[in-house]
Structure formats: structure tokens, C-alpha cells
Structure 1
Amino acid sequence: MRFLMLALAITLTACSSAPEPRIQLAPIAPAAETTDSVVQSIELREISLPYYAQGEEIGIVEADGSVALRTDILWADLPPRALTLRLAQTLAARLPETAVAAEPWPLLSRADLRIEIQVARALGQIDGDYNLDGQYFVIAGNLGEYERAQSFAISQPVEGIGFTAISVAQSAAFDQLADLIVADVAAVTPADIGRR
């Protein structure tokens, strides 16, 4: 009987413990300027992130250079999904004449371009920098033969204290990545995507 009472007390304690706080990505800032493009549609594949950046735990760089996964505060959504959707919304805001959507592609016609992003490093350090390194690929989706591979290494200062500051720096780094992609999309010609 005592064992059952103890088990019940432990269960109730576990159920009544406060949930971990969750942190969202910083909101998308209005586009300072927009860009015209002949590209009518873009499919953004889910961003490939390092293992430590795929879960709800927030990875940070410790003073000794090691990566720590913090469990006392968590992302509100899984980073691959959240960052992909945020980047798609950012691209759509900066390319207002272009339909941009994350996979799975929701429209009937195939997208003019497909963008794939492979992130090698996505880490922030409190009172340091948020570093975003990797490659992105822009590929014609219909009859075109356009292909472009581009490396990126973005460093954004973490201004402020705590995990919210890392979230803001992370969002700013992905905004810089969006700028790089928009510049490439703007340079695409009709012939590149199979149009006459």
C-alpha cells in the first residue's frame, strides 16, 4: 500500500511540474525593398540542419567551444519546419510577384525553381555571435537547365542576454541568407527556366 501511495505521489508531482518555457523565432520584419523577377514560383525544400539543431532543445556554444543542448528552455516548433516556413515567408515578402511555398509543393503546376539548403553550422553563443554556414542550391524545375550552388558563411552578433537574443540573431542570419537567395533569383532569365 505504501508503495502505491509513493508511486501516486511521484506521478502527481510529475504531472503538476511546470512545463518548460518555449521560445519562438523572431517575427519577420517588413521588407525594406522588394525585387522583381521573371520567376513565377519557387519551391523551398525543408532546410537540412545539423543533428544538434534539429530538435526542440536549443544548442549553444559554450566557452570551451563545445555544443550544449539546453533543455530548460525549448523551441516552440521544430527548427527544420519553423525555419523553412519563416524563410519561405521572407522570400515571398521580398519577391512579391513570385509564389513561394515550402514543400510539399501545394500548387498544380510545377515550380519554376527549387531551392535546397544544407546547413553545416547553425550555432549561437550568448554574448557572442550566431554563425550560419552551409550551401544552397537553386535548380530549374520545369524545362530549364539552370543550376547554381552557392556557399554561405553568415555571422550575426547576439545582442542582448538570454535565449531570446539568440533567436533574434538566428532570424537575422536567415534574413541575410534570404538576401543572397533573392539576388540569385533576380538574376535568372526566362531562358534559364525554359521560357521563350
Structure 2
Amino acid sequence: MHKTLMIMAALGLAACSAQPDRLALTPAASTLQLQPAVRSAVVRTVSLPTYAAVEEIPLQSADGLITTSGDILWADDPQRAMTLAIATTLGGITGADVGPEPWPFIDLPDVAIDIRVAQMIAAADGTFRLSGQYFVGGDGIDFRNTAHRFDIRTPLADQSLGSISAAQSAAVLTLAEDIARRIAR
């Protein structure tokens, strides 16, 4: 009976503990408008490094160590949020049917976009860094397979979480606009 009371008390304390605050990745709007060379595209789930794929917001210290802000978390799974932000932005820029993986339609998409992120962090040098490689290839049509590197650095106003979120949104927008140019005429 004593053990049962201890378990119930622990569960009660856990239920009363405050939930951490959450910060959303808010996609930045693009003013770019391009004619698509494809009718449809699927954005495969964006591959992120381990430190960037967790709920905690990563920060790089002056000595290069990656730390996190444990009291505030991302509002959504970072891979899902980034995949949706890229797909939404690409669709808005090109007017093509762009969706995340898994592809929601019966017919194959014309192209598949695969993004592999090597770095995604608020760097110690006062920039937000987004680097890696992306691939565009024909799925449903004959479309030349291509590979492209990216290394985007967006200035941080300061080290606050709001500045990090804004810089990340700007970096994701820059990446989406670059990809849009690859699938446009």
C-alpha cells in the first residue's frame, strides 16, 4: 500500500509540473513567382543532423559545443516542420502541386526533392547556418537528375530564441527559393 501511495504521489506531481513553452517555425513568405517546369513535386522528409532533429533548440557556444535551451522547445517535430515549410513555400512560388512525403495523391509526382542538411544551428559567430545538399530527380516524368549544395548564413539580431526562429525561417526561405528556381522554366 505504501508503494502504491508513492507511485500515485509521483504521478500527481508529474501531472502538475508545468509544460515547457514552445516556439513555432513560422515560414517566411516569398515574393518570388516562377513558372514551374513540372506539374507536381514531392518533398521527401528533410534529413537533419541529430542535434537539430530533436525538440530542444540547439545553440553553438564560443568553444564549438552544441548546447540546447531546455526550457523552450520547438512546437513541432523539426523534420516535419521543415518539410512542410519547404513544400508550402515551393507550392506558393511555382503554383505546382507540391506536397510532403508520403505523397498524398494516386499519380506519381513529376519530381522528387530530397534535402540532406549537414548543419542547422545558431552559430557562435552570430549567424544562423543552414548547409547541406539537395537532390531533384524525375519521378513521374523525364527530368534531369541534379545535385546541389547549399550553405546559407543568415545574421542573428541577437542570441534570443525569437531571433533564432526568425533567422531559421529566413534561411529556409532562401533554400526553398533556390530549389524553386531548379524546378522552374
Q: Does TM, scored on the shorter chain, surpass 0.5?
A: yes
> How much has 1:10 moved relative to structure 2?
4.1
Q: CA deviation at 1:2?
A: 7.1
Q: Please name the residue that 1:100 is paired with.
A: 98
Q: Is residue 116–residue 136 contact of structure 1 (8 Å, CA) maintained in 2?
A: yes
**2:135 aligned to which of 124, 134, 137:** 137
In the alignment, is the contact (CA less than 8 A) between 2:54 and 2:77 conserved in 1? yes
TM alignment of 1:28-43, pairs within 5 A:
28-29=28-29, 31-43=30-42
Code of the aligned partner of 1:113: V
Deviation at 1:14, TM superposition (A): 2.6
Query: What does residue 116 of structure 1 align with?
Result: 114
Q: Does the residue aligned with 2:170 lie in a helix, a strand or coil? A: helix
In the alignment, which residue of structure 2 is the partner of 1:192?
none
SS at match of 2:112: strand
Q: Displacement, 1:11?
A: 3.6
Establish whether residue 184 from structure 1 lines up as the match of residue 182 from structure 2: yes
- Separation of aligned partners in 2, 1:66 and 1:159: 21
RMSD: 2.0
In structure 2, what is the equivalent of residue 75 of structure 1? 74
Aligned residue-pair number: 185
Give ranges in structure 1 of 5+ residues lacking alignment. Answer: 188-196
| Distance in 1 between residues matched to 2:141 and 2:26, nearest whole Å | 37
TM-score by length of 2: 0.91
Structure 1: distance between partners of 2:62 and 2:16:
35
Q: Deviations over 1:34-66 (max 9, x none)?
A: 101231001110000001111111111112110
TM-score normalized with structure 1 length: 0.86
Residue 26 (structure 1) shift: 2.0
Following the alignment from structure 1 to structure 2, what is the Cα–Cα distance between the partners of residues 93 and 74?
28
Higher mean C-alpha deviation, range 37-46 or range 160-169: 160-169
